[in-house]
Structure 1
Amino acid sequence: MHTPLVTHDIHSQSASVKVLQLIDSLEAGGAERVAVQYANAMVETGSYLCATRAEGLLKASLHPQVGYLFLNKKSTLDLQAVLKLKRFVKGSGIQIIHAHSSSFFLATLVKLLYPKVHIIWHDHYGNSAYLNKRPKWILQICAPFFSYVFCVNRDLENWARTVLKVKSVSYLSNYAEQAIEVPITTLKGTAGKRIVCLANLRPQKDHITLVDAFKNLQTRFPDWTLHLVGKDFDDAYSKALKTYIEANTCQDRVYIYGSCTDVASILEQSTMGVLASKSEGLPLALLEYGLAGLATVCTQVGSCAEVVLDGVHGRVVPSQDAEALEQALALYMETPHLRDAHGIAFKSFVEKNYSKTAIIDKIKTIYNTLCMPNHAK
C-alpha cells in the first residue's frame, strides 16, 4: 500500500521559491519524465511533485528530498482531490504549481480556492501537427489563470499566443541527463546490429510505418533487429501493431519490451536510434539518443529537425513515408563509419545545446520572477 504523502525533511531546505510539479501519472512517458527531472533538479529550494491519477515506474526515480503527494484522483471533478491538493499547497507554502499537460485543469481549480498560488502551464502536446483539431475551450477558460506558459516547440508557443491569448509564454526545450540506474533490461538480437525506438505505443508514434520500413530490410540485413521500448496500453493500436508484426513474420526480429526504467542501459546496448512519429513536440527520446552517441533516423515533425541535423547527426525523413525511412535506416546499417561519425557529432551537439544547467537556470529565472514582491501577472 502506497503512503500518500512523504515529506522527506522538506523543512530543512533553504527558504526560497517552493514549486510543485503536477502530473497525471508517473508512467514512463516524456512529460512524466520531465516533471520528475524538474522536481529532482529543484530540491535545494523546496521541491514537490504530485501525481494526480496514477503512480508508476518513475516514482522510484524521485529524489528522496522531493515532497511527494499521490492524489488518486478518480474523475475530472473530484472535489475531494481538489481540496486535498489545495490543503497540501497551502500547508507546504508552495508558491508555484508547475502543471504539466492536462493537469492544468486541476491546477486552475486549486487557484480558484487559493488565489495566491501561481500556475505555470507546461504544454507537451504531441499532436502539434494537428493543432487546428485540438480541443481548446477548456484551455481558453483556464488560460487567464496562468502566470506563464512553457511550450515544447515553436508551433505550440505560437498557438498559445494566438489562440489562448497568453502573453507570458516561451519555447522551452527538454534536456537529457545521464541517469544513474541499475541495468535490468537485456536486449535480444546481435550486439552492434540493434535499432531502438523509445516511444510509448500510441498512434502518433506510428510504429506500424516503422515496422513496414524495417520488414523490407530483412533480406538484405538478416542479423539486424528492431527494439520497441515504451508503455504498452494493450489497446486497439497495440493489438494492430502486434498483428502487423505477426502478419509480416517479423516476430523474431521486432521485439516489444513495454515500459523500462533503465533507458541509459538500453541505449548502451543499441546501435542506432529511430523515431517514426506522425506528430511530435520535442521528443526527450531524441536527446537521449544523442547523449548515448547514437546516430538517429527521425521524421520531420515538431522540433525533431532542430535536434537531429540532417546529414550531420542522422537522417530526417518525411512522416508516414516507409520508403524514405527504409532508405535512411539502410544507409546506417551498411555504412558503420558514417553511423559512428554521426553518433559522435550528435553526442557533442546535445551536450552543448541541451544541457541540464542551461534549461534549469531558465526555469528558475521564471520561478523567481513570478515570486518577486509586486510582480504583475
Structure 2
Amino acid sequence: MILSKEIRVVQLIDSLEPGGAERMAVNLANELVNSVAFSGLVTTRLEGQLKNAIVADVNYLFLKRSRVVDFAALFRLRRYVRKNKITIIHAHGSSFFFAVLLKMLLPSLHVFWHDHFGNRSSNANSFFLLRFCSFFFKGVFTVNESLKIWAEQKLFCSQVKFIPNFSVSDPSPVGKTFLKGEPHKKIVFLANLHQPKNHILALKAFLESEIASKGWTLHLVGKDKEDAYSKELKIFIQEHAMQSHIYIYGSCDDISFVLQQAKIGILVSSYEAFPLSLLEYGLAGLTVICSDVGYCSAIIQNDFSGRLIPPNDEMALKEAFIAISNQPEKNQIMAKNLNTFVQSTFTPEAVMPKICFSYQKSI
C-alpha cells in the first residue's frame, strides 16, 4: 500500500461562499495537511468568507474563471497542477466539469467527484453532461446512501463510496455577531436564504406557535441574496410585526460563536443530502428540530437526539416549537445525546481514513 504521504491532492470547488459543499472542501483540505505530501484548495469562480477558514499550510489558488469554458483559467490550473506535481483532483459539486477538462489536458490525473446535491435523483439539469464526464472519474464520493445508489445506477464509474460529512468545532471562537433577544430562548436557523431551505415555513410555524409571547426569538443566519426569496421573508416579518422576534443576519464567519448563543437549532428544508449544519448544531450542544429528508434521520433520532418532523408540515413544526418551549429538561437530554453521537461518529478521525484509502488505491 502506498503511504498517504506520497499523495498530492487538490480540492476543487467553484466558490468559497458559505455552503455545505464549500465547507466540506475546506474541511478536507485542512485535515489532509498532516496526512498527505501536498494538500491544496482551488476555487474556480468566486471567493468568499470561507477563505478565512483555510489553514496556512493548505496551498491555495483562485482561478478567476469568468465563463463555463474559460481557457485562461484552465491553463492557469494546468500550470499549477504541473508545478506542484498534483496526482489527484477532488472535485466538489458542479466543479466536476472543469476537472474533466483538465484531465483531457493531463490524462494521468485522477479525478474524484464528490456529490453533495440532495435532489440529484429528481433533477435532470446537467445529467447528460455529468453522465458523460463520469467516464473520466476515478471514483465518486456521495454524502448519503440514496446518492450512492443513484450514482451506481446512472454513472459510468464503478468506484462509488458513501462518505459522511464531518464537522470541526472551534473551542474558543472569536465572535462579532451577537444574537438579539433573551438568553436561553434563541432559535437559530443556519442556512443560506434560498430554496430548498424553506425559511417561510419556519416563519409561519413560529408565528402560529405563539412562543414569541414567551420571549423566544428566531435568528436566520446565512447568505442573503436580496432576491425575491429574501423579500418574501422580510415582508412576512413586517406584515406580522415580528421585527423584535425574528432577525436576519446574512452570512457570518463566526458560526461557532453564533451557535454558542443559541439554545435551539432548526433545519426545515424540503430536501437535503447531508446537512452539515446538523453536525454543527450537535457539536454546539443545541436541541435540534429538522425535517425528515436526505440523511437527517440517520443523524437525528426522533425524541432521543432531536425532533424529526415530516417535510413541509407547518402544523408539525408549530407543535415542535411549542414542545421545545415547554420541555427544557427534555431538550437538554436530547441535545446531550446528539452531541455524544456527533462527536463519536462524524469526526475527521472517522472519515478521513476512508478518503485516503480511496486516494491510495488510485495511485
TM-score class, shorter? over 0.9
Compute the displacement of 1:59 (Å): 0.8
Corresponding residue SS for 1:216? helix
1:120 and 2:112 equivalent? yes
Structure 2 partner of 1:33: 23
Unaligned runs of 5+ in 1: 1-13, 372-377
| Contact 2:304–2:337 (Cα < 8 Å) also in 1 | yes
Give me the whole-angstrom Cα distance separating, in 2, the residues matched to 1:146 and 1:254. Answer: 45
Match of 2:134 among 143, 147, 151: 143
Compute the displacement of 1:241 (Å): 1.8
Give me the whole-angstrom Cα distance separating, in 1, the residues matched to 2:233 and 2:154. Answer: 35
**How many pairs align?**
357
Match of 1:185 among 161, 177, 186: 177
| Contact 2:211–2:321 (Cα < 8 Å) also in 1 | no
> Using a 3 Å threshold, how does the CA distance of structure 1 residues 141 and 219 change in structure 2: closer, same or farther?
closer
| Contact 2:23–2:50 (Cα < 8 Å) also in 1 | yes
Give me the whole-angstrom Cα distance separating, in 1, the residues matched to 2:287 and 2:125. Answer: 33
> Using a 3 Å threshold, how does the CA distance of structure 1 residues 186 and 323 change in structure 2: closer, same or farther?
same
Compute the displacement of 1:127 (Å): 2.5
The amino acid that maps onto 1:170 is K
Give me the whole-angstrom Cα distance separating, in 1, the residues matched to 2:65 and 2:316. Answer: 44
1:66 and 2:66 equivalent? no
Structure 1 partner of 2:153: 162
Match of 1:358 among 350, 358, 361: 350
Structure 2 partner of 1:246: 238
Q: How does 1:327-342 map to 2 (within 5 A)?
A: 327-342=319-334
Match of 1:266 among 255, 258, 267: 258
Corresponding residue SS for 1:205? coil
Give the TM-score normalised by the residue count of structure 2: 0.95
Match of 2:279 among 283, 287, 295: 287
Give me the whole-angstrom Cα distance separating, in 2, the residues matched to 1:368 and 1:254. Answer: 49
Structure 1 partner of 2:194: 202
- Structure 1 range deviating more: 206-215 or 177-186: 177-186
- Structure 1 range deviating more: 90-99 or 239-248: 239-248
| Contact 1:218–1:224 (Cα < 8 Å) also in 2 | no
Give me the whole-angstrom Cα distance separating, in 2, the residues matched to 1:165 and 1:301. Answer: 27
Q: For 1:189-215, what per-residue CA distance to the aligned partner results, in whole angstroms no more than 9, with x for missing partners?
A: 111000011101111000000101001
The amino acid that maps onto 1:36 is V
Structure 1 partner of 2:100: 108
The amino acid that maps onto 1:34 is M
Corresponding residue SS for 2:331? helix
Q: For 1:222-244, what per-residue CA distance to the aligned partner results, in whole angstroms no more than 9, with x for missing partners?
A: 31000111111122211122222
1:75 and 2:67 equivalent? yes
Match of 2:220 among 207, 225, 228: 228
Give the TM-score normalised by the residue count of structure 1: 0.92
1:57 and 2:49 equivalent? yes
| Contact 1:194–1:225 (Cα < 8 Å) also in 2 | yes
Give me the whole-angstrom Cα distance separating, in 2, the residues matched to 1:364 and 1:338. Answer: 40
Compute the displacement of 1:165 (Å): 3.5
Give me the whole-angstrom Cα distance separating, in 2, the residues matched to 1:261 and 1:314. Answer: 26
| Contact 1:127–1:204 (Cα < 8 Å) also in 2 | no
> Using a 3 Å threshold, how does the CA distance of structure 1 residues 219 and 94 change in structure 2: closer, same or farther?
closer
Match of 1:22 among 12, 15, 27: 12
Give me the whole-angstrom Cα distance separating, in 2, the residues matched to 1:95 and 1:331. Answer: 52
| Contact 2:211–2:325 (Cα < 8 Å) also in 1 | no
Compute the displacement of 1:355 (Å): 1.5
Q: For 1:36-77, what per-residue CA distance to the aligned partner results, in whole angstroms no more than 9, with x for missing partners?
A: 101111113211000111111111111111111000100001
Corresponding residue SS for 1:204? coil
Q: Aligned-residue CA RMSD in angstroms?
A: 1.4
The amino acid that maps onto 1:146 is F
